[in-house]
Structure formats: structure tokens, C-alpha cells
Amino acid sequence: MSSDADNRQRSLREKAEAMLAQSHRERIDFSPAEFGRIIHDLSVYQLELEIQNEELRGAQGQLGHTRDRYARLYNQAPVGYLTLDASGTIRQANQTFADMMGWECADLVGRALAGFMAGSGHDIFLGRFRSFFNNPEGKSIDTVLHGNGARSFTARLTGRKETDESLYPRQEAGKAMLLVIVSDISAQKAMEDALRQEQDTSRLYLDVVGASVVAIRSDRTVSLINQAGCRLLDYPQEEIIGADWFERFLPERARAEVEAIFGRLMTGMIEPVEYTENVVLTRSGEERIVAWHNTVLRDGAGTITGTLSSGEDITERKRAEEALQRLSLVAAHTTNAVFIADAEQRIEWVNEAFTRLTGFAQIEVRDRTLYEVFQGAETDPITVAAIRAALDAGQSYEGEILGYHRSVSTYWTQLFIDPVRDADGRVTRFIGVQTDITARRQARLELQEKNAELERFIYLISHDLKSPLVTIKAFLGYLEQDLIRSDAARIAQDMDYIRAAADRMGQLLEELLSLSRVGRVTRPPVRVECRDLVEEALRLTAGGIVERGVAVRLEEMAGTLVGDRTRLLEIWQNLIENGVKYMGEQTAPCIEIGAERRGWELVFYVRDNGMGIEPRYHEKVFGLFEKLDPKSEGTGLGLALVKRIVELYRGHIWLESAGAGQGTCVRFTLPEAIEQRSEIQA
Amino acid sequence: MKGKPMVVLLVEDEPAHAEIVRRNFADFHPANRLMHVPDGQAALDYLYRRAEYRDPERSPRPALILLDLRLPRVDGLEVLKAIKADPKLCRIPVVILTTSAAETDIFKAYDNHANSYLVKPVDFLQFVALMETLGRYWLMWNEIPLLDRA
């Protein structure tokens, strides 16, 4: 036992002796036996007391150790501890807090904590303190504390209501106290600030970019959307964040498909689809097409937590593309031939119809000029010059032009060429559309021909039919005079003229009627052998043949015709009659009739050795009422009638004659009357 | 009024019509000589003294030409064009005498410098009156330019 302990024991003894002396206890006399017993008891008691005392001293020492350990813990804790009273005054502070502040602990006690704050921090702290003091659970106050000198730091204050009064400073017993834990969060704050700044910058980036950026959590809710995304969907950000993306922003019909992809993305079953297109629904219910670039988001452990997508509203582009696609479909599939040429009038593109019309495919005409493609030997150079002039001047051209197919056949087209200009008015392209009007043009030419024929008919009424009438009336007048004068010779002459004119009128009317019936009145087609037809024609014209003594040679006549028998017969009948009629001075008149093959065509002929026809009249003789010999009996309708019948069967008729006195050969074809089978046999 | 007999060339394919004109001339203008050719080719042969009209005796220069329009071989209009295009012939008055009253014929005739256009009347008395007036006007009152007699 230490001397310190001995001293204490001695002082305790002295204290006890003094107390005993003052107690005025009655002195009692004891027998020696009693003394002996008492002394024994006292000795035992003394020992017990000494043992007790020793134990107490041990306990006290242990308590001291414990107290020191706790004090060390308190003072050397990594955080500052403060005990505040209800007024916010510091009642106790640990060494850590004192170190934070650069003060001595003792100097801090009795000061208001708010006194170490400045500006708005000070006011905010005071404003919040009461509620913090009364109910500190789960709360924290971040504030800047200014310590000794220039020392200051950001402190996070969290509190706990102190209930163990024994822990209070001695003099504060019975008052409510708040234990405040002070953490220096300057570093954390700086990091948080930096992080926040970074986040703000990121957010700024997100909001600045034109694309919509959307993050979707694995639970399908939106965790992030930027301003472009909000504008696209036309909702405020707070209404979008947390909403179910699929439920809210996708039209029902598209939902299942996108959800399925999302689901598989979430489970990692498929790799992120780099690029997708889908429709989103805006607040007004409008659908917008969005092209997305997607990636998956993972947490630290690599688990997929959601998707991040940037999307671009391609609705307008898509519509424009569709419109363009539709237009290009029109251009590609129209039956009109379409070409696009550059500003230099070189072809860039042609459609299928162009290839069908011209026989040239895109690659064959690319970079060739329009003129190379259209021009041919018979193309009107004036038309080509007009096109070039219009295009060089940047103007439209519209007109008809003869084009050349690659197989050198020709076609007529209605051609429209329009210049296309850029915003500055410069010609950048030409678009040409061609309509095949070969058939239309042919029909028009035929119509013009028919019109011309009709005009001749009208002419006939005013001249050829009137002419015999003039004769009749005039000679009736003379007849009257001659009857009065009884001039027998003149009377006979007058009557001859009248009779001839009347006959002529009758014949004219009959032939006109016949002519007008060709093609208008049709009898059902019948099969007839060419040879039979010619033989019948010869029988019908036998009178003239015999009278003029014409020798007839019927040559090779294979073939069968199908058509109007009467009309077909009229062809040969008229031609034979003409041959006989215009035999002239021929002393050995002869007519040859036959057919020969020229290429794939069967060409019929009726040849005579009569007076012949000068080449310059070869066309004219086929016109209505055209006669070469004014003295002949004909009406000028015979060959016109034959021509009409031949044309009815899509044939041609022409004359071959070296001239006057050289004989005449009339040749003709009847393509549509020739029976195909017999043609093969022939 | 002129005493000299004048030559009139009649180009007419219809023999009956030629006969009507001939009879009228005989009745009203017997002093004048009517030469008749039946078609356009013959008319040109006559005027240019070719083929059967090579002999000037057979083809005296006419003081008036009566020209039908619809003619075989060479058309009346072609004959008119040839006459009016030839400086030696163009002064000869050409009177179209035809059955056609078609506007196109009238226009074409005047376009090619016909001097007059007459339509043959269907009525006999009118035809006779026309022929009388025609002779009186063109052969008696009308000044005929001096013609090449060669």
C-alpha cells in the first residue's frame, strides 16, 4: 500500500478519533474477559474494515481509470461534441471541437454557438434552432463556423436530446440539454459542390442539346429527361419524371413492341439496340416519330438499372421522306416517260416508262445530252432548236417531237420540259415528261384525212352534183327554143346532153352511196379464196373485156381472204374495169392479175399495158372525183372506192407506171383480210 | 366599143357546159373567136404553145380566159397560178366560171389574182343573161392590155 494510502488512513483515523471525542459517549467498564472478547471483535472488525477499505480504494481507482478513458474518448472523438442549453449557449465542448475552432475548451463554455456564425448562416441557424433543439431526431444543420483567427469550416450539426442528467455539467442538473455532434464537412461540402457543379453543367449540356434525352429505370419510370424531351412531349419536367414511360408516352399500339424490347434489354438478354425508331404521344395526343440512340445504365456492381436514350424528332423528316417517296413512286411508275437532266441538259435519271418508250436504260443515257437521245434523222431540226433555245433561256418547253427508239423505230411524243430553280433562281435541273402520242397523232392524222375527205364531199355537192343540173336546166331552155324553131338536129343534141347529164347524176349518186357505205355498213366476214374472187370479178367485167379484146392472164393467186365478200370483189372489179377503160391505143391489150410475196407481205397486183399514168398523177388518181381523162365515162370515184376498201383492211395501194403509154400496175395489200393459216401455208 | 374580133379561151372539162358557152357566144358575140380546151394541162399547153398547140395559128393569144376550177390533170387553180406568175401572161384577164360557190374556192381564186369570179347559174335564163353581160363587159367595155401576138 502506498504512503499516500497510509496518509489517507491516518487522516481518516484522526477524523474518526475527533468524532468519537465529540460524541460524549458514556464510558462503560468491561471485565477483562469482556475486554478480551471486545478486542478480538474489534480486531476482526478492523480487518474487515481494512479489507473493505482496500476494496473501495480499488474500485475508486478503477472508476478513475474508466472516467479518464471516457474523458479521453469524449475529448479525442473524431467529431466535436457540444452540449447546448435551450438558449444555444455552449455548456460543454470536447477537445476536438476546441481544436476545430482553435479555442481552449474552457473559453468556449458559456458562449453562444451562433456567435461563431456570420451573415445568413447565423440567421438561418437561429431560425431553425428551436425546432432543432426540441426535436433533433433526423435533422441536421449545415453551417459555416468561424473559429479563432481566419479559421473557418463547414460544419454539419446533428443533435441528440440528452436525457442522462448525470452526464450534464454539475451545475446544470434539472435543465434540458442538447448534445450536438459537429462534423467538419468542408471537404465533403467541397466535393458535393464540385459534384453539384458538374451535375449542373451536365444538366446544362442536356438542356442545351437539341436531342431529347430520357433515362428510364428498370421499373419503367422516367428518371431523367431534358428540356428538349419536355418540349417534345409538351409536359413539364416534374410530370414526366417518375411517370411510367410506356403507359404515359407511348401510343397503345406501339407499347407492347417497345416494352418487349425494353424488357429484354433489362434482363440483359439482348445487347442495347443502337438505333430504334418509335412513336411517342405528346400531351395533345399527337404522335411524333422519334429516332433513338440507346444504351443501358448499370450500377457499380454491373447490374442493369435502366436505359439512357437520346432521341431526335424525325416526324417532319419522315413525312417529307414519305412524300418524296410517294412522289418518286409516281415518277418511277407513271406511264409517262420521265427524265431529269442537270443544268447542262445532261440526263441524270430516267424512269421505267422512259426505258420502255426509248429502249434506253438509265445507265445508257446517263450524262448524254437530251439532244443526243431525242434526235434522229427525221426529227424536225426546228423543234430541236426551239427546245434548246427555251432551255438555254431557262424556260419551259412544250411541244411534239419525233423521237428515236434505240432500235431505230420512231415514235411521236408530247414533250414537256420544265426548269427547276434553286432559292437564288438559278436553274439546277430540268424535268421532262414525255407522253407517247404516236397512236394519238396517227388518229389525228387519220381524222384530218377524214375531214379533208368530208370537205371534198361537200365540194362535190357544190360542184360535181350541181354540174349535171346546170347542164340539164340549160339544155331544157335550149330545147324549148329549138322546139319552137322546130330545129330537129338541135332538139336531138339538146336531149342527148340532158340524158347524159341525168345518167351521170344517177351514177354519181349510186357510187357516192357505195363509197359512203365502205366501213360504215359491214357484212359478217366470210372466208373466200382469192382465185374465186378474181374469177368472179372477171365474169362481172366480161362485157368490156370481150368488147375491147383484152387478153387476161391470171397468175399465181394462192391465199384465202376473210372479210366482206362484196367489198373485196369490188376491188378487183374496179381495177379490171379501169384497166379495160384506159387501154388507149394498145393493139394487143392485156391484163395480168396475181399476187406475190414481198418480205412478209402478200402484195396483189392488177397490171395492164394500156395508156399508163404519168408519175405526177399517181397520188391524185385515188382522190374523190379525180379523173385524168375528161372524156372518160367514169365519175372519178372508182379508185377512191378501191382505196377506201383497201384501207379498211389496213392495206396500202399504189401505182407503178413509167408514164403515158407505158401501161399501169396497181398494187395493194390487205393485211387484215389475209387468213393467217393460209399465209403460213403459202 | 371595139370592132376587132377577140379570142376567148374557154377552159372547161364538161362538154355540155362548153356547148352552152359556145351557143351563147354564137348568139351574142358572133364576131369573137371561142377557143375551147378540156383540161388544165391543155390550157397550159395552149398558152405556152406546146404539144398540139405548137402552131400559133391554133393558139392565138386570148383577150380573156374563162377558167373552170375543177379540171382533170392540172387543176384550174394551178393554171391560174401559172398565168399570174408569168409576166407574159399575167395581164390577160382571167374570169373564173365554175359551178362551185364554195368560199374556199372564191378566196383561193382571188388570192391568186383572178380578175373575176362567176358561178354558173342553174337557171337557164340567168345563165343566158350572165353570158350576154359577161361578153358585153369583158369584151366591149373592158380595156384589154396590148397582148403579145407572137
pTM of the model as a whole? 0.47
Q: What is the mean pLDDT of residues A179-192?
A: 87
Q: Which residue of B has its CA nearest to A496?
A: B16
CB atoms within 10 A of CB A406: 13
Between A169 and A205, the more confident residue is A205
Give the largest CA-CA distance in chain B: 40
Mapping DSSP onto H, E and C, the string for A426-469 reads: CEEEEEEEEEECHHHHHHHHHHHHHHHHHHHHHHHHHCCCHHHH
Per-residue pLDDT band for A495 (boundaries 50, 70, 90) equals: very high
| Among B83, B85, B103, residue whose Cα is nearest residue B95 | B83
- Band of pLDDT at residue B1, cut at 50, 70 and 90: very low
Cβ contacts (< 8 Å) between B71 and chain A: which residues?
630
pLDDT of residue A680: 43
Cα–Cα distance for residue pair A338/A171, rounded to 1 Å: 107
Q: Which residues contact B67 (CB under 8 A, 6 or more apart)?
A: B11, B43, B76, B79, B80, B94, B95, B96, B97, B114
Mean pLDDT (whole number) for A274-289: 86
Query: So what's the pLDDT on residue A26?
Result: 64
Test mutation, A470, A490, A491, A613, chain B, max B CBs within 10 A:
A470
Helices in A463-548 by DSSP H: which ranges? Answer: 466-485, 488-517, 530-540, 542-548
Inter-chain CB proximity A474 and B73 less than 8 Å: no
Distinct helix (H) and strand (E) counts, chain B: 5, 5
Taking the Cβ of residue B101 and every Cβ of chain A, the question of whether any pair is shorter than 8 Å is answered with yes
What confidence tens digit (pLDDT) does each residue in B18-64 have? 999 999 988 888 888 899 999 899 999 999 999 889 888 888 889 99
Q: Do A474 and B127 touch (CB under 8 A)?
A: yes
Instruction: Check residue B148 and give its pLDDT.
Output: 54
Q: Which of A264-268, A457-461, A493-497, A578-582 has the lowest mean pLDDT?
A: A457-461
A625/B contact by beta carbon, under 8 A: yes
Task: Report how far residue A188's alpha carbon sits from residue A204's, in angstroms, rounded to the nearest whole number.
Answer: 23
Query: How many residues are present in chain B?
Result: 150
**In what helix (H) or strand (E) does residue A162 lie, and over which residues does it extend?**
strand A152-162
Q: Is the pLDDT of residue A69 over 90?
A: no
A476 touches B at CB < 8 Å: yes
| Contact across the interface for B70 and A470, Cβ inside 8 Å | no
Count, in order, helices (H) and strands (E) of chain A. Answer: 23, 22
Q: How far is CA A125 from CA A115, A137, A157, A159, A437, in A?
A: 10, 16, 10, 13, 95
Beta-carbon contacts of A586 under 8 Å, excluding residues fewer than 6 positions away, are A609, A610, A611
Q: Which of A451, A458, A471 has the highest number of chain B CBs within 10 A, making it the mutation to test binding with B?
A: A471
Q: Give the nearest chain B residue to A613 (CA atoms).
A: B73
Report the candidate in A624, A617, A642, A629 with the shortest Cα–Cα distance to residue A508. A624
Strand partners, A656: A665
pLDDT band at A625 (very low <50, low <70, confident <90, very high): low
Q: Assign residue A668 a region: left if phi > 0, alpha if psi is -120 to 50, beta otherwise?
A: beta
pLDDT value for B131 = 92
| Structure confidence at residue A682 as a pLDDT band (50, 70, 90) | very low
A627 vs B: CB within 8 A: yes
Strand partners for A597: A602
A626 touches chain B (CB under 8 A): yes
Note whether B121 contacts A501, CB cutoff 8 Å.
no
What residues of chain B, 117 to 136, have a C-beta less than 8 Å from chain A?
120-125, 127-128
Top-confidence residue, A330 or B54? B54
ipTM above 0.85, yes or no: yes
Instruction: With CB atoms and an 8 Å threshold, state whether B99 touches A462.
Output: yes
Nearest CA among B5, B16, B119 for reference residue B64: B5
- What residue has cell string 437530251? A370
The residue of chain A nearest to residue B73, with distances taken between CA atoms, is A628
pLDDT, residue A25, reads 64
For A46-123, strand residue ranges (E) read 80-84, 90-93
Pairing of strands B116-119, B94-98: parallel
Which has more pLDDT, A470 or A675?
Answer: A470
Confidence of residue A679 (pLDDT cuts 50, 70, 90): very low
Average pLDDT, chain A: 84
Name the residue with cell 384497166. Answer: A579
Angle (CA) B130-B134-B140 rounded to 5° is 145
Q: CB distance from B16 to chain A under 8 Å? A: yes
Q: Which of A470, A617, A630 sits opposite B99 (nearest CB)?
A: A470
Q: Nearest Cβ partner of A477 from B39, B101, B124?
A: B124
User: Of A219-228, A235-244, A347-356, A616-625, where does mean pLDDT reach its minimum?
Assistant: A616-625
Alpha-carbon radius of gyration of chain B? 14
CB atoms within 10 A of CB A461: 12
Under 8 Å CB pairs connecting chains A and B tally to 72
A348 has pLDDT over 50: yes
Burial of A431 (0-12, 13-18, 19+ CB in 10 A): middle
Q: Binning pLDDT at 50, 70 and 90, where does residue B121 land?
A: very high
| Residue at grid coordinates 389574182 | B113
What mean pLDDT comes out for the span A376-391? 85
* B14 closest CB neighbour out of A458, A471, A476: A471
By CB atoms closer than 10 A (0-12, 13-18, 19+), residue B138 is buried
Q: Say if the Cβ atoms of B70 and A625 lie within 8 Å.
A: yes
pLDDT tens column, A33-56: 888 888 888 888 888 988 998 999
For A415-465, the pLDDT digits (tens) are: 899 998 888 888 889 999 988 888 888 888 888 888 887 877 777 766 778
State the smallest CA–CA distance between residue B129 and chain A in angstroms: 12
Q: According to the model, what pLDDT value does residue A496 have?
A: 92
Beta-carbon separation of A625 and B38 below 8 A? no
Q: Is A174 within 8 Å of chain B by CB?
A: no
Reported as type and span, the H/E element at residue A643 is: helix A638-648
Exposed/middle/buried for A388, CB within 10 Å: 0-12, 13-18, 19+? Answer: middle
Widest Cα–Cα separation across chain A: 232
Instruction: Give me the residue from A462, A470, A617 closest to B17, CB to CB.
Output: A470
Quick one: pLDDT at residue A272? 67
Q: What percent of chain A has pLDDT over 90?
A: 9
Q: pLDDT above 90 covers what percent of chain B?
A: 57
Helix axes B76-85, B40-47, angle to 10 degrees: 20
pLDDT above 60 (res A681): no
Query: Which chain B residues are Cβ-neighbours of A475 within 8 angstroms?
Result: 16, 20
Q: What is the mean pLDDT of residues A59-84?
A: 87
Q: Is a pLDDT exceeding 60 seen at residue A678?
A: no
Contact B123 A467 (CB under 8 A): no
Measured between CA atoms, the residue of chain A closest to residue B17 is A471
Chain B residues near residue A474 by CB distance under 8 angstroms: 16-17, 20, 124, 127
Between chains, do A464 and B70 touch, taking CB under 8 Å as contact?
yes
What is the reported pLDDT for A171? 59
Quote the pLDDT of residue A370: 81
